[in-house]
Amino acid sequence: MFKIKQALFLIFGITSFIIFYIGFLNYLKTQDSNMGLLILLFSVIVSVGTLLATFHVSKNLTKPIETLVQRMQDFSQTNIVTPNPCDDGGIQELHILHKNFEEMANKVGETLKKEKQLNIKLKEIDTRKTEFMSMISHELKTPIMPIMGYIQLLKKEELMGELNEKQMNALNEIAISTERLQKIIQDILTAQKIDLGKLSSEKENVQSRVLVENAYRAFYPYCKNKDVQLTMLLDTNDNVYSDPDRVSQVFSNLISNALAFLPEKNGTIKIGTLNNSDENVTFYVQDNGIGISDDQQKNIFKKFYQVDTSSKRKKEGSGLGLSICEGIIKNLGGRMWVKSTLNQGTTFFFDLPKAQVPVDHLDSLDKPSHSNHLAS
């Protein structure tokens, strides 16, 4: 790409050469030597004048433009306008251009300064909000333990006496509400740890089959009692490098969500693994519930988001469950996503990295081995 200075010298240089060449040809062809010499001299003067004019124009036109370009480049890197006298070469258009640039740069600089100050304030507010939420959660968690303790004491007839049916129902309702409150507080604390990057995990090599079986065993009695068909399907048994307790927490949230949105009859939930890549094992929880619309899927992993926002919604909770699940999976080096069709069902997927095979064990992979399989 040519610079203005180069373009000017190229154009006027060719013009000067053409003028000189015409004068030189006339000098050679004309019969009147005096006239030919005069034409040659005139062409030389015009050519030299053209070159000098080109140099003058280039100096007064291109230098201010180059200065302005340099200032713009500096501003794009530093967002600071370097104080500099307006070098416009006496050209009105360049003067206006310099002036407009300085005004624009000052406005942009002020805007960036205000934005920086606003970001600092927002960070301070966010930090205070996080500290406040953490403090409130801890303060709420403290009185829950004695409440739960006294509930258990009241249920023991040998210590507190026998309760009638109405009293026992009220006590059970208190216990259920207290457990629900405890779950909400725990969710808030976990969400805060995820936001602050302080969520702890203890990773180890574990069979993917074991992770699914643990979830299956934990929910099978409840599903059977609710007449819900819980099925376990294993496409792979590769080891993953992960935290079994955190994965169990994810399965628990996903299965609980699935149970909340199943049809009243013929509800089914499928959990299992897929072998879709060499680096990860894919786990899933599938149901035949009400499904999630495309618009809702975009927000499904946001904190406090509820699919059912009606006043009589079936599912009770903080709206943090799926956000926490995604945060846990990301913390374990994986990812989570959802596929759903309204009135047909929903499937939540999450990947976990496979365990690395030690180099000294690579030779044993080709040798036959005996493994035990769980009959399901």
Q: Residue ranges of the domains in the chain?
A: 4-78, 204-357
The reported pTM is: 0.59
What is the radius of gyration, based on Cα positions, of the chain?
39
- pLDDT tens per residue, range 322-364: 999 999 999 999 999 999 999 899 999 999 999 876 545 444 4
Identify the CA nearest to 336 among candidates 320, 349, 324: 349
Classify domain 204-357 by CATH architecture: 2-Layer Sandwich (3.30)
| Residue with the larger pLDDT of the pair 61 and 291 | 291
Give pLDDT, residue 372: 37
CA angle 96, 97, 98 (to 5 degrees): 90
Four-residue CA torsion sign, 240, 242, 248, 253:
negative
Quick one: average pLDDT of 279-295?
A: 93
Cβ atoms of 301 and 257 closer than 8 Å? no
Quick one: average pLDDT of 121-132?
A: 79
Give pLDDT, residue 282: 95
Q: What is the DSSP string of 2-27?
A: --HHHHHHHHHHHHHHHHHHHHHHHH
298 contacts: CB under 8 Å, gap ≥ 6: none
Least confidently predicted of 94-103, 115-124, 243-252, 330-339? 94-103
Start-to-end CA span in the chain (Å): 72
Task: Write down how long the chain is.
Answer: 376
Distances (CA, A) of 77 to 219, 329, 351: 58, 38, 40
Cβ atoms of 185 and 134 closer than 8 Å? no
d(CA 308, CA 13) in angstroms, rounded, equals 77
Distances (CA, A) of 198 to 94, 130, 189, 248, 352: 56, 13, 11, 19, 20
Give pLDDT, residue 249: 93
Quick one: average pLDDT of 93-102?
A: 72
d(CA 331, CA 337) in angstroms, rounded, equals 15
- pLDDT tens per residue, range 10-21: 676 777 778 777
Give pLDDT, residue 80: 67
Residue 213: φ, ψ to 5°:
-65, -40
Cβ atoms of 230 and 219 closer than 8 Å? yes
How many Cα atoms occupy the beta-carbon half-sphere of 179 within 13 Å?
A: 8
How many Cα atoms occupy the beta-carbon half-sphere of 202 within 13 Å?
A: 3
Helix 244-260, helix 321-331: angle, nearest 10:
150
| Residue with the larger pLDDT of the pair 315 and 196 | 196
Cβ atoms of 218 and 248 closer than 8 Å? yes
Quick one: average pLDDT of 188-208?
A: 85
Cβ atoms of 238 and 279 closer than 8 Å? no
